[in-house]
Amino acid sequence: GAVVSQHPSRVICKSGTSVKIECRSLDFQATTMFWYRQFPKKSLMLMATSNEGSKATYEQGVEKDKFLINHASLTLSTLTVTSAHPEDSSFYICSARSGFVGSGNTIYFGEGSWLTVV
């Protein structure tokens, strides 16, 4: 079964509104979660690294005021797309890293969230 749950799986919102996507680790505590964006037929683009209890680290070119990331607990991270525009329409995927540094850790992915801004 899934160890990382993402919600909602699909969302349609109006241009100018904000939408929140949740990412939960179900079987483990994730001190670090990652948010990716995937354009059609493209690879995953890392948007930001979310650390529990601290500010997210954004990749170059990603607007931190537009893509708000909160990692309030060891099992939950949220991505809020603020003042959404049609060009924000995309597939957003979260992932969580289990375990500590060492050979046993693995990254698990959520099911992804399709965002359509109309």
Residues paired with 33 in a beta bridge = 50, 96
Within positions 4 to 23, which residues make up the interface with other proteins, using CB under 8 A? 6
Candidate list 8, 46, 55, 85; residue touching other proteins; CB under 8 A = 46
State both tokens at 67. Answer: 């893509």
Which residues have CB under 8 Å from 117's CB, separation 6+? 12, 13, 14, 15, 84, 85, 86, 87, 88, 89
Q: In the complex, what is the shortest distance from the CB of residue 92 to other proteins, in angstroms, rounded to a whole number?
A: 10
- Among 86, 80, 71, which residue's Cα sits nearest to residue 117? 86
Binding status of residue 116 toward other proteins by CB under 8 A? no
Residues in the chain: 118
Residues paired with 80 in a beta bridge = 20, 68
**Range in contact with other proteins (rule: CB under 8 A) among 60-68, 73-81, 82-90, 110-118:** 110-118
Within positions 73 to 102, which residues make up the interface with other proteins, using CB under 8 A? 93, 95, 97, 100-102
The smaller minimum CB distance to other proteins, of residues 28 and 108, is found at: 108
Q: Which residues bind other proteins (CB under 8 A)?
A: 6, 31-32, 34, 41-44, 46, 49, 51, 93, 95, 97, 100-112
